Structure 1
Amino acid sequence: MADFMTAAQRSVHMAKIRSKNTKPELALRRALHAVGYRYRLHDNSLPGRPDLVFVARQKVIFVNGCFWHGHDCPVGTRLPKSNTEFWRDKRNRNQDRDRLQRTQLLAMGWTYLDVWECELVADSFALTKAREFLGTPRLMS
């Protein structure tokens, strides 16, 4: 099946896809902040530049897009019908890189949580998962 976009249209479309401050990430940030968690964003000194960094707890959260990181949900398992081999290789490289970065974080004494885009559709599930991972928020004075 041929692509319905020209190469120039595809390039413009792909350039609009962000790697940080995505809608799922913003939703989780708002929810965690509302219940009292404080965090840093996109720390360049840590492998993978985690989306949320909880320095005092030595914990990080990655908010992953299901398609880009090959989640086992319907969106993550679907491959485009055109250029399938490219996309399979791209997602495999993303998954390999993710595994390496998680291993590096663990070696540095950090723990991590992956939150998937599809889990954020039901805000309460992702928030519950994150709260269990993080523990009790610090009391604000």
Structure 2
Amino acid sequence: MPEKRQPMTRSEMMGNIGSRNTKPEMIVRRGIHRLGFRYSLHRSIEKCKPDLVLPKYRAVIFVHGCFWHAHQGCHFFRLPKTRTDFWKKKLAGNVERDKKFNTMLMNSGWRVLTIWECATRNQTQETLAEQIAAWLRSDEISGFMPSELERLN
């Protein structure tokens, strides 16, 4: 008789989620590569490793998961109902680290773009890539996709 497999615990499931080459990151990478942009992956700059580094544009791109980086107001972010204190502390630490890294990078002359996971789900890959390309060609120091305005509508 085959052995019954126990369901994975939340800890095991969360532990299996990788931080590199995620589906949202691959969507961003494919889209901007198709438009001719070249980048380095996870290159260390100022004690952090952005997902994409575009030295020609002095720009870095972070692709954040809505859950892991506590994307407030996003329907993909929901605090777990178990061990809430642990998750609040964990996710607050991630948000603080993100802010610290963004500040350090901008103070060093880098431009910083944060692309939320929901931006890769809510529009076509081509549209997202065009928006990223427009930002890279602009003079904006920092940006978010989706923007606060888009997210609230």
Shared fold, TM over 0.5: yes
Q: Which residue of 2 aligns with 1:129?
A: 131
Cα RMSD, aligned residues only: 1.9
Could you list the per-position Cα deviations for residues 19-59 of structure 1 after superposition, in whole angstroms to 9, with x for gaps in the alignment?
11111101110011011110000012344300110012110
CA contact (8 A) 1:51 1:60 kept: yes
Could you list the per-position Cα deviations for residues 65-119 of structure 1 after superposition, in whole angstroms to 9, with x for gaps in the alignment?
000101121122x111101111111111100000000000011100100000000
CA contact (8 A) 2:31 2:126 kept: no
Q: Structure 2 stretches of 5 or more lacking a match? A: 1-5, 139-153
CA contact (8 A) 1:59 1:111 kept: yes
Q: Return the letter of the residue paired with 2:33.
A: H
Q: Return the letter of the residue paired with 2:134.
A: E
Q: Which residue of 1 aligns with 2:148?
A: none
> Number of paired residues?
130
Runs of 4+ in 1 over 6 A off after TM superposition: none
Partners of 2:135 and 2:47 lie apart in 1 by 19
Aligned sequence identity (%): 41
Tell me, yes or no, if structure 1 residue 105 matches structure 2 residue 99.
no
Partners of 1:124 and 1:133 lie apart in 2 by 14
Partners of 2:48 and 2:7 lie apart in 1 by 31
